[in-house]
A and B are shown apart, each in its own frame.
Chain A
Amino acid sequence: DAKTTQPTSMDCAEGRAANLPCNHSTISGNEYVYWYRQIHSQGPQYIIHGLKNNETNEMASLIITEDRKSSTLILPHATLRDTAVYYCIVLNNAGNMLTFGGGTRLMVKP
């Protein structure tokens, strides 16, 4: 599976959009981009995933660049409860196991 690169940490003001970038420049055609988050030692929580098109659900939006080499997770109105470590994971079509990197520690501040 392709390797991902994320900033170590980011801050965001409460109520503002949080934009979390991920670089996956070696992604191949059959690999999906998944986002999970982990709130302080709880189990990781699935957020969203996509292949080529932008995706939106009740939690977030995922914007994937046309060349698929990077993506951005958008939390439209961040709350204090969104403070967590966010993981960008690339998974191929036969993929089974999730490989977690260091992720981005997002701190939402009042």
Chain B
Amino acid sequence: EPEVTQTPSHQVTQMGQEVILRCVPISNHLYFYWYRQILGQKVEFLVSFYNNEISEKSEIFDDQFSVERPDGSNFTLKIRSTKLEDSAMYFCASTLVGTGGYNEQFFGPGTRLTVL
């Protein structure tokens, strides 16, 4: 069964450093998402991406964050200058159709980001 993959599984970085989290969505999917979950808290939406541009983003997704689909398979989340509060599990998701009735999102296993 096709699945979303994410690398690395765990990333440790120093505060102020840039990190890139990588995702390979399911191959024929068209909509891509990043969510995050701070330990013990809810899963929070960050951004959705379709047709090579951001379609929605949350208040969390500020100028320190960016997303890119550099080739036909990868989808990346970059945090430009990490803060302690960016420590969280980051989940990538993808879906074939992005509208309400067909929005079965497939999630990856997540990347645990630890900022020291």
Contact = CB atoms under 8 A, between A and B. Distances in A.
B91 A96 contact: no
Given A96-B31, A97-B33, A45 B107 contact: yes
Contacts of A96: 31, 48, 55-56, 98-99, 103
Contacts of A92: 100
5 contacts: A44-B93, A97-B56, A98-B105, A100-B44, A101-B42
A49 B97 CA distance: 14
B91 A97 contact: no
Interface residues of B, number: 28
Given A49-B104, A92-B100, A93-B100, A100 B110 contact: no
Contacts of B55: 96
Given A97-B45, A97-B56, A102-B42, A46 B106 contact: yes
A6 to B, nearest CB: 12
A96 B34 CA distance: 12
Interface in B64-116: 89, 91, 93, 98-101, 103-110
B43 interface: yes
Contacts of B103: 32, 34, 49, 91, 95-96, 98
